[in-house]
């Protein structure tokens, strides 16, 4: 059986930095290893686009060796590109990194990237070279408010649509496209960007939400069975930072269940962000990235097909890349994560009073995880919710009584209008510093309503 091939692309500064942190984390965790190669050619200098004879094939693979991974990066800022390219895993892979010349950053204007593609056909040729080996899954990673990241994302989608970059035509099971995209903080969203020579001026949130913005672009390409995008993992820097705050149980009372409930349920039910912005306080990009990496862990374990025996779901080898794609077809996917180190830490979440039943307590913890999701959720847009649980108490998987309690709890929550809620076990984790880990993945139909309110709420 041929190996699964994953193609990941870090596009623009935000996408490159997050990609590097995800890949480094997966490598440090032993899930990704370097693929042995006979290539003896020396490193190439960046700046010019590669020739067809260069080796653009996969250079990483899962620990189990069942999945090959190829990553490439593109940016218009030489410093950012250089920083990422200089880490050990990439230092001899310069043909996998491309600098868009002529501009030092796109300044939030994606039209600048379009101009680069229009005047330099070698850029498209370089991308095509990376797809000589057809991937099973293509995952571009980018920020939606940035000029370079979103601009490169748009140009990739055009190549998929107009030039059949993925060689999909005529295939009954064509390669899937599952982007990982990042939306900015409210403060960043209000920043103005401009290109005076072309009479362009707008805010970064308009890059995300306008009629020609990123969300409308993704909605159009994700709609219907023939869409260019199958599903989209989406994370938001404000909400990911809030997730990191909540992971510090008991700190100033902000992470208790009742406090989180009172903070986030108004967002879900009434688009009311007052308490959310009050509780968020100061947040950092570093905190947001840490939560994003931890929250997207299920996605990468499924895509990598349980690389070290860590499996989500009780089927043989757990869910894989096909299952993940099928679970959320046509959806935005909003991830979340909760790690409880000890029973004492778990009790801190319920300092206002613990549930009187252990099964119900796990339902509360699962809902807590959902509430701290890494992007805003509009309750009316929810399609499905997947809950994944690993606990030292559940050596044989999550008991059916616990699953039923969690499903009933979610179904009874006012404003959470999911049509499908499932609970699955996670196995193969060996973490002596953790007692319970919970992930939720929430599939929503449209992100525009929630993001519109997030950026405009006063």
Is the predicted pLDDT of residue 40 greater than 50, yes or no?
no
Whether the per-residue pLDDT at 216 is higher than 50: the answer is yes
Q: Measure CA of the first residue to CA of the last residue in the chain; give whole Å.
A: 56
Provide mean pLDDT across the span 332-352: 88
Cα distance between residue 185 and residue 188, in whole Å: 5
Mean pLDDT, residues 213-228 taken together: 83
Residue 444 has pLDDT above 50, yes or no: yes
Distance, in Å, from the CA atom of 29 to the CA atom of 153, rounded to the nearest integer, reads 29
On the question of pLDDT at 49 being above 70, the answer is: no
Query: DSSP labels for 31-96?
Result: SEEEPP----PPPPPSSSPPPTTS--S--EEETTSSEEEEEEEEES-HHHHHHHHTSGGGTT-GGG
* Closest alpha carbon to 157 in 88, 215, 229, 92: 229
* Tokens representing residue 254 in the block: 């902000």
Per-residue pLDDT of 167-178, as tens digits, reads: 888 788 889 999
CB atoms within 10 A of CB 433: 7
Q: How far apart are the C-alpha atoms of 441 and 129, rounded to whole Å?
A: 34
Average pLDDT over residues 211-240: 88
Q: Shortest CA distance to 366 belongs to which of 325, 416, 326?
A: 416
pLDDT in tens, 65-118: 999 999 999 999 899 999 999 999 998 898 999 998 766 778 899 999 999 999
pTM here is 0.93
Find out whether 66 and 305 touch, Cβ atoms under 8 Å.
yes
Q: Do the Cβ atoms of 142 and 152 come closer than 8 Å?
A: yes
- Structure tokens that stand for 80 in this block: 């950012």
Q: What is the CA radius of gyration of the chain?
A: 22
Can you give the pLDDT at residue 50? 47
Residue 249 has pLDDT above 70, yes or no: no
pLDDT tops 70 at residue 3: yes
pLDDT of 352 reads 72
Euclidean distance between CA atoms 366 and 423, whole angstroms: 10
In the predicted model, what is the mean pLDDT of the chain?
A: 88
Helix axes 147-162, 111-119, angle to 10 degrees: 50
Phi-psi category of 357—alpha, beta or left, where left has phi over 0 and alpha has psi -120 to 50? Answer: beta
Residue 217, pLDDT > 80, answer yes
pLDDT for 102:
65
pLDDT tens digits, one per residue of 50-59:
444 578 889 9
Structure tokens at 360: 């119900």
What domains lie within the chain, and their CATH numbers? 4-230 (3.40.50.1440), 238-456 (no CATH)
The structure tokens listed for 415 are 């404003």
For 422, phi and psi rounded to 5 degrees?
-130, 155
pLDDT value of position 53? 55
Rounded Cα distance, 274 and 297, in Å: 30
Residue 448 has pLDDT above 80, yes or no: yes
Place of tokens 């989500």: 312
Torsion of CA 223, 227, 233, 237, to 10 degrees: -70
- Of 265 and 344, which is predicted with more confidence? 265
Longest CA–CA span in the chain (Å) reads 67
Collapse the DSSP code of 8 into the 3-class scheme (helix H, G, I; strand E, B; otherwise coil) and give the result.
Answer: strand
415 neighbors 266 (Cβ within 8 angstroms): no
- pLDDT-derived band at 316 (thresholds 50, 70, 90) equals low
Question: Residue 68 and residue 7: Cα distance in Å, rounded?
Answer: 9
Kindly tell me if the per-residue pLDDT of 373 is higher than 90.
Answer: yes
| Confidence at residue 346, expressed as pLDDT on a 0 to 100 scale | 83
| pLDDT for res 43 | 47
Angle value at C-alpha 112, between 110 and 114, nearest 5 degrees: 80
pLDDT in tens, 148-167: 999 999 999 999 999 999 98
């Amino acid at each position: 059986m041929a190996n699964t091939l994953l193609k990941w692309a870090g596009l623009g500064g935000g996408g490159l930095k997050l990609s590097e942190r995800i890949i480094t984390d997966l490598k440090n965790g032993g899930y990704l290893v370097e693929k042995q190669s006979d290539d003896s050619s020396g490193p190439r200098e960046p700046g010019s686009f590669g020739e067809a004879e260069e080796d653009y094939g996969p250079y990483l693979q899962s620990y189990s060796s069942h999945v090959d991974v190829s990553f490439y990066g593109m940016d218009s800022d030489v410093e950012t590109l250089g920083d990422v390219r200089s880490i050990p895993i990439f230092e001899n892979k310069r043909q996998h990194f491309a600098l868009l010349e002529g501009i030092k950053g796109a300044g939030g204007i994606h039209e600048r990237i379009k101009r680069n593609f229009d005047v330099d056909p070698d850029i498209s040729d370089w991308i095509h070279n990376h797809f000589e080996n057809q991937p099973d899954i293509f995952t571009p990673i980018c920020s939606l408010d940035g000029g370079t990241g979103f601009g490169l994302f748009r140009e990739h989608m055009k190549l998929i649509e107009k030039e059949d970059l993925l060689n999909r035509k005529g295939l009954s099971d064509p390669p899937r496209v599952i982007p990982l995209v990042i939306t900015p903080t409210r403060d960043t969203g209000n920043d103005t960007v401009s290109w005076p020579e072309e009479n362009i001026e707008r805010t970064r949130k308009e890059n995300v939400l306008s009629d020609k913005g990123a969300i409308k672009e993704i909605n159009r390409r994700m709609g219907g069975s023939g869409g260019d995008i199958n599903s989209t993992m989406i994370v938001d820097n404000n909400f990911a930072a809030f997730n990191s705050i909540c992971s510090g149980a008991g700190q100033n009372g902000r992470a208790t269940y009742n406090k989180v409930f009172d903070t986030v349920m108004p967002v879900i039910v009434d688009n009311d962000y007052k308490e959310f912005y009050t509780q968020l306080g100061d947040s950092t990009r570093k905190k947001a990235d840490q939560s994003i990496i931890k929250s997207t862990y299920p996605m990468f374990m499924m895509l990598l097909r349980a690389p070290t025996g860590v499996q989500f779901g009780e089927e043989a080898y757990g869910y894989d890349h096909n299952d993940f794609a099928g679970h959320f077809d046509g959806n935005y996917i909003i991830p979340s994560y909760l790690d409880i180190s000890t029973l004492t830490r778990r009790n801190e979440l319920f300092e206002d009073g613990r549930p009187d039943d252990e099964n119900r307590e796990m339902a509360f913890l699962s809902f807590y995880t959902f509430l701290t999701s890494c992007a805003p959720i509009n309750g009316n847009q929810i399609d499905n919710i997947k809950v994944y649980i690993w606990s030292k108490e559940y050596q044989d998987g999550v008991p059916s009584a616990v699953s039923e309690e969690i499903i009933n709890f979610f179904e009874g929550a006012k404003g959470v209008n999911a049509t499908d809620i499932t609970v699955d076990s996670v196995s193969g984790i060996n973490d002596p510093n953790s007692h319970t880990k919970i992930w939720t993945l929430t599939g929503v139909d449209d992100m525009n309503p929630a993001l519109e309110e997030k950026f405009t709420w006063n």
